[in-house]
Amino acid sequence: MIATSARAVGPRLKVGVTLFIRDGSQSLWENGIFQNCYFLLMLLAQSPVVERCFIVNGGPGDPAAAGDFLQQAPAPVLTFTEAMNELDVIIELSAQLDPEWGRQFAGRGGRIIGMRVANDFVIDVERMIFALPPALLMSGVPYDEIWTLPAFEKTCAPYYRSGFRAPVRVMQHLWNPTLLERAKATAGVEAPFEYRPGRHRWRVAVVEPNICTVKTCHLPLLLCDVAHRQDPNAIELLQVYNGMALKEQADFVAYARSMDLVNQGLATFEPRFPIFHIMGRAADAIVSHHWENAQNYVYYEALYGGFPLIHNSHLLNDCGYRYRSFDPHDGALAFRQALAEHDRNLDAYRAQARSLLRHLDPDAEANIAIYGNALQAVVARKREQ
């Protein structure tokens, strides 16, 4: 559906979104930023202010060797050399721009938008403090505008505005089940991605990435242990995914061994898997925790499938079962409430989730208009300068 509230003013735009294509085959499920790229491109392809949209390859890989990663991509791929003369606007998302390239692109009249979909302030600080390889930092690219998400307005918007010396615009987060259902079909998973009621003890999944302090398993593990102490019949098994590296850390092992669930053999630590290989097949509920990272594709996927989501996000419109952010006892209460009520209220839970997810859809007319109007504002402001 094409938005009627966003109309092309002047020539329609050719827009590119950067994507890091590495050597060999890769997967959309390696990190959330790849999905961000695809959802944004899905939206741009429908915008009345966009003539054509492209993926701009910012990595060393050959697109022809990327496998399923690009097989059903929503736009053709350009090199940076091609993008220099082809594009009107480039959106830096999955791959960072070279500052010199950015200056040349701006010099010929191109517009540059930096889209930030992670808690970059925390990530940058962690990498500086612990001497890790740098991530974003202040690159010297001449951005016309920075786009970010509501989840990062508090911690990152002032950081971007001051560090990049560019205006910041908070944009709508985007998601729909297209990529999930496509990946599930490609993997040969025929069972529907949906919660199945009837179990009196839940198999619980914690799927935090465990690579940055904004999303880790530490509080969910303690939360589940408190719930288990309160009701030993509540949890059949706790599975901590993305947890293999943690098992090698002595401090984490000591922390985990303080838990009854671990000592009683009711917790396991697993590798990374796509969500459709976990939920329904191996787990019934998700327990999550974030620190200033309140929008997360895992939340949307869980809600889409009707799975009970125990979380601390203030940006889910009361979907799921919310607890006070750093309170394992309040989280245990939310977990036990979910276990007691979820099957009985499943239809209402699903309806509330559908209402939230409609607002995130890249195909939604309102979202197409939001992004189209933002693009036009960037172009108009550049002309006036």
- Cα dihedral 115→121→126→127 (10° resolution): 40
DSSP state of 283: B
Q: Give a yes or no: residue 5 inside a domain.
A: no
CATH code, domain with 107: 3.40.50
Find how far residue 171's CA is from the centre of its chain.
14
Three-state secondary structure of 331-344: HHHHHHHHHHHCCC
Q: For the chain, how many helices (H) and strands (E)?
A: 14, 13
Residues 106 and 138 grouped into a single domain: yes
Residues 159 and 208 grouped into a single domain: no
Q: What pLDDT is recorded for position 385?
A: 62
Q: Cα(284)–Cα(293) distance, rounded to whole angstroms?
A: 23
Residues 268 and 192 grouped into a single domain: yes
Residues 99 and 59 grouped into a single domain: yes
Residues 59 and 143 grouped into a single domain: yes
Percent of the chain predicted with pLDDT > 70: 95
Q: Give a yes or no: residue 338 inside a domain.
A: yes
Q: Cα(157)–Cα(152) distance, rounded to whole angstroms?
A: 7
Q: Give a yes or no: residue 92 inside a domain.
A: yes
Q: What are phi and psi of 156, to 5 degrees?
A: -115, -30
Tokens 């908070």 sit on residue: 170
Residues 152 and 230 grouped into a single domain: no
- Nearest Cα neighbor of 47 from 69, 14, 77, 18 is 14
Q: Is the pTM of this model over 0.85?
A: yes
Residues 374 and 349 grouped into a single domain: no
Q: What pLDDT is recorded for position 307?
A: 99
Give the chain's domain count: 2
Residues 100 and 217 grouped into a single domain: no
Q: Give a yes or no: residue 253 inside a domain.
A: yes
Residues 202 and 297 grouped into a single domain: yes
Tell me which residues of the chain have a pLDDT lower than 50: 1-4
Residues 157 and 204 grouped into a single domain: no
CATH code, domain with 220: 3.40.50.2000
Q: What pLDDT is recorded for position 2?
A: 39
Q: Give a yes or no: residue 1 inside a domain.
A: no
Q: Residue 367: which domain range?
A: 13-174+361-384
Residues 201 and 117 grouped into a single domain: no
Q: CA separation (Å) from 27 to 20, 33, 95? A: 12, 11, 16
72-110, pLDDT tens digit by residue? 788 999 999 999 999 999 999 999 999 999 999 999 999
Q: What pLDDT is recorded for position 172?
A: 98
Residues 104 and 154 grouped into a single domain: yes
Tokens 């390859």 sit on residue: 57
210-234, pLDDT tens digit by residue? 999 999 999 999 999 999 999 999 9
